[in-house]
Amino acid sequence: MKTKPIAAKAGVQQKSVASRFVTAIKKYYVLYLLLAPALLLTLYFSYLPMPGIIVAFMDYDVFDGFASPWVGFENFKQIFTLPMFTKSMAHTLLLSALNLLIVQPAPLVFALLLNEIHANKFKRVLQTVSYLPHFLSWIAVIGMANAIFSTYGTINDIRVALFGEGTERIRFLASQGFFVPNVLILTVWKSIGWASIIYLASITGIDPQLYEAAYVDGANRFKQCIHITIPSVLPTAIMIFIIQIGQIFHDNFDLVYGLQNPYIDFETVSTVVYKEGISAGNYSVATALGLFQGLVSFILVRSVNAFSRKVNDVALW
Amino acid sequence: MNHKSTSYKIFLFANYLFMAAVFIVCIFPYFHTLAKALNDGNDTMRGGITFYPRVFTMQNFQVLLADTSIYRAFFISVLRVVIGTVLGVAVQFAAGYALSHQNLPGRRKLMLFIIIPSFIAGGTIPTYLLYVHSGLINNFWVYILPQLMSYYNVMVIRSYIESSVPSSLNDAAAIDGAHELTIMCRIIFPLCLPVVATVSLWVAVTHWNNWTTTMYYITKESLFTLQYKLMQVVKESERLQALLQAAQASGEDVNVSVKSTPESLVSAQVIITTIPIIIVYPFLQKYFVKGVTLGAVKS
């Protein structure tokens, strides 16, 4: 099917675009029909909201709709001056920086250590239980954390056991200072197993002859790890790093919103967009914030990708 | 390879210890939550619950199940999973099958069309406004329609067909005069069951776990899902616990007024909400995990 007769192809090229279109439709109409629902859904739910970003340049009013008055960059001025917005951006960047430093390397380390476990049954069981949280909702994970971090939960029980009866029980989920650590702990717990799969897959793909050759040359297990295993998983790690850099201005709404309570004052971009936009009805400012967020992410992912292509020869596209 | 130096042996020992600790951290929260769900609320407030309930009771579940709205929420959740998965996988499989035809005119452009929105999107508020104009607010279909299409799943299905189903099968059937739809349903689909199973599981789990859709677009109580109800309980819990502790400290007799503490109720609600996934997970784990390697195919 791939190699059509050359004569027929040349004949098609002579015809006009319109008639080529008609021929294609006639021949492949069933396939186009099969594709139609996917295309229409994408058009409606993904493309149609795009023009809606003009709301960011309006003083949007529900009754006037898209006929609301234009205000230029007024909304953007607000998001860079009002503390509520600037703080939310700072918080998002803080969580992302910690994500890159702590959450992302964790599954790589986990995979490398798991690779040194030779009791296969234990390894399999450990992998199975470590993947499970990936399939639970964030709010269920927070619910479980609620039991463990509560006043009469395990962490406080351990502290009392270690430091004596008089130890004050801390309400970890209701303490401002523990908010960021809680976010990190829960993210690592939920994602470490699942995220390690991709590293384990690339470790399994390494040619065993490499290890044998290194062994003959006198390299011990540590040197084998440093000179063979780590370089082999590095391209994968860099690719994931690129994706994460692109996400630096995004935060995990489910987790941050789920962990918020009356004792916590920690807003991020996504929670402010929800609270200001959908709850309070300040559509224009919230859209401006969302637009800025999308723009930064787009530029970031493009530039990191270009940089990585030049330096490491690893790129997403 | 088999050479083991002393330092490597020490490392191995430490590594096994560490992994044993990781294993406990992985499984402990489930047992602890179940223990608290099955433990008397006032007894829980003495601390010291670990893997099993100390004062066994079904009270917490009874309190939750006495509220009839939870059955309604369960029904909505199940309805959402079933309709969303069947329709979603149908749309995604049809698209993946069509795009697996290398000679389909415009194939690359069409793929680009469905991939672009993952790089630039309208954002939360424009999407919300579109839903308002489409009448999707407080409408059950807001759970289904916007999530039917997933470019990622389409690409996974497409690359599975391209790599695992010989295209000669397609040609042979076409020469025999079989209709395109017959080929898809009778020949390709049965060969794609592994990828269909994986994608179905993903879609089903995503539908079951989602609660933000409810929070963003639904205010009508009759359309609340189980996860959303869990969210409400979890978010209230810290405040209620503080109230309860304040009452305790001021010497009020809370034993009479509160039989199930917020903490016990949250635990019981977590169990009710996650039990379907935890039950099917061990049996379907193979399909759950297979998808990762399927998805690693670059487009």
Domain ranges of chain B: 6-67+225-295, 69-221
For B100, the closest chain A residue by CA position comes to A31
State the virtual CA torsion across A196, A198, A204, A210 in degrees, nearest 10.
Answer: -100
- Bridge partners, A61 (sequence order): A65
Homologous superfamily, domain A57-312: MetI-like (1.10.3720.10)
Residue A113 C-alpha, separation from nearest chain B C-alpha, in angstroms: 7
CB of A294 within 8 Å of any CB in chain B?
Answer: yes
> Do the domains spanning B6-67+225-295 and B69-221 agree at the CATH topology level?
yes
As beta bridge partners, residue B56 has B39
Is A287 within 8 Å of B103 when comparing Cβ atoms? no
Q: B48's torsion region: left (phi>0), alpha (psi -120 to 50) or beta?
A: left
Residues A258, B235 contacting (CB under 8 angstroms): yes
Cβ contact B63:B265 at 8 Å: yes
Which whole-number Å values give the CA distances from B219 to A279, B140, B216, in the listed order? Answer: 11, 11, 8
CB–CB contact B98 A173 (8 Å)? no
Nearest-CA distance from A212 to chain B in Å? 6
- The whole-number pLDDT of residue B184 equals 82
Mean pLDDT, rounded, for B122-149: 92
Domain B6-67+225-295 has CATH 1.10.260.40: no
- Mean pLDDT calculated for residue range B251-256: 54
Q: Which amino acid is at A232?
A: S
Contact between B121 and A50 using a beta-carbon 8 Å cutoff = yes
Average model confidence (pLDDT) across chain B: 85
Shortest Cα–Cα distance, A316 to chain B (Å): 9
- H-helix or E-strand spanning residue B13: helix B6-37
Residue B48 pLDDT > 90 = no
| Token representation of residue A95 | 């969580």
**How many beta-carbon pairs below 8 A join chains A and B?**
297
User: Does ipTM surpass 0.90 in this model?
Assistant: no
Q: Do A52 and B125 meet the contact criterion of CB atoms below 8 Å apart?
A: yes
Q: Confidence band (pLDDT; 50, 70, 90) for B142?
A: very high
pLDDT for the residue numbered B261: 77
Average pLDDT over residues B107-122: 87
Record the pTM.
0.87
Task: List all residues of chain A from 224 to 253 with a beta carbon under 8 Å from chain B.
Answer: 253
Q: Do A198 and B292 touch (CB under 8 A)?
A: yes
**Could B122 and A50 be called an inter-chain contact, meaning their C-beta atoms sit closer than 8 Å?**
yes
Chain B contact present for A194, CB below 8 A: yes
In this predicted structure, what is the pLDDT of residue A315?
61
- In sequence order, which ranges of chain B are alpha helices (DSSP H)? 6-37, 41-44, 59-66, 69-99, 107-115, 124-134, 151-164, 167-175, 180-182, 189-191, 193-209, 212-217, 226-249, 254-257, 262-295
| Least confident among A65-74, A306-315, B100-109, B222-231 | A306-315
The closest CB to that of A212, out of B1, B239, B270, belongs to B1
Which pLDDT score, from 0 to 100, does residue A1 have? 42
CB within 8 Å of A66: residues ≥ 6 apart: A54, A55, A58
Phi, psi of A181 (to 5 degrees): -55, -40
Residues of A in contact with B247 (CB under 8 A): none
- Joined tokens for residue B189: 């689909």
CATH superfamily of B69-221: MetI-like (1.10.3720.10)
Q: Are the beta carbons of B16 and B34 closer than 8 angstroms? A: no
**Looking at chain A, which runs of residues are DSSP E strands?**
none
Q: Which residue of A has its CA nearest to B142?
A: A45
Lowest mean pLDDT among A276-280, B86-90, B183-187: B183-187
Q: Do A143 and B44 count as a contact with CB atoms less than 8 A apart?
A: no
Calpha distance B216→A298 (Å, rounded): 25
Contact B145 A194 (CB under 8 A): no
Question: What is residue B46's predicted lDDT score, i.e. its pLDDT?
Answer: 79
> How near does any CA of chain A get to the CA of B50, in Å?
7
Element (H, E) at A144: helix A138-149
Among A135, A302, A305, the strongest candidate for a mutation testing the B interface, having the largest count of B CBs within 10 A, is: A135
Q: Do B97 and A215 make contact, defined as CB atoms within 8 angstroms? A: no
- In chain A, residues with a C-beta closer than 8 Å to the C-beta of B240 are none
Contacts of B285 in chain A (CB under 8 A): 128, 131
Residue B41 vs residue B247, higher pLDDT: B41
Tell me if B3 and A277 make a contact (CB, 8 A cut-off): no
What is the Cα A168 distance to its own chain's centre? 37
A254 CB neighbours in chain B (<8 A) are 211-212
**Residue A98 vs residues A67, A101, A142, B158, B194: alpha-carbon distances, Å:** 43, 5, 19, 36, 37
Q: Which residues of chain A are modeled with pLDDT < 70?
A: 1-15, 311-317
Q: Give the relative orientation of helices B6-37 and A120-131 as an angle to the nearest 10 degrees.
A: 40
Q: Does A71 touch chain B (CB under 8 A)?
A: no
Cβ-proximal residues to A243 (8 Å cutoff; 6+ apart), any chain: A301, A316
| Contact with chain B for residue A298, Cβ under 8 A | yes
What count of Cα atoms within 13 Å lies in the side-chain half-sphere of residue A219?
16
| CA-closest candidate to residue B141, choices B61, B223, B54, B57 | B223
- Is B234 close to A135, i.e. CB distance below 8 A? no
* A144, A278, A293: residue with CB nearest B270: A144
Q: Contact B100/B161 with Cβ under 8 angstroms?
A: yes
| Chain A residue numbers touching B8 (CB-CB < 8 A) | 220-222
Shortest Cα distance, chain A CAs vs residue B114, angstroms? 6
pLDDT of residue B253: 54
- Here the tokens at position A61 are 């009013």
Q: Confidence band (pLDDT; 50, 70, 90) for B176?
A: confident
Nearest to A150 by CA among B44, B64, B59: B44
Q: What is the b/e burial string over B258-294, where b = at least 16 CB atoms within 10 angstroms of the residue's CB?
A: bbbbbbbbbbbbbbbbbebbeebbeebbebbbebbeb
> A50 and B110: CB-CB below 8 Å?
no
Q: Which of A139, A173, A200, A264 to mutate to test the interface with B (most CBs of B within 10 A)?
A: A139
Give span(s): CATH 1.10.3720.10, chain A: 57-312
Calpha distance B193→A234 (Å, rounded)? 33
Three-state DSSP at B33 gives: helix
Poorest-confidence range of A297-301, B95-99, B219-223?
A297-301
The closest CB to that of B289, out of A122, A131, A260, belongs to A131
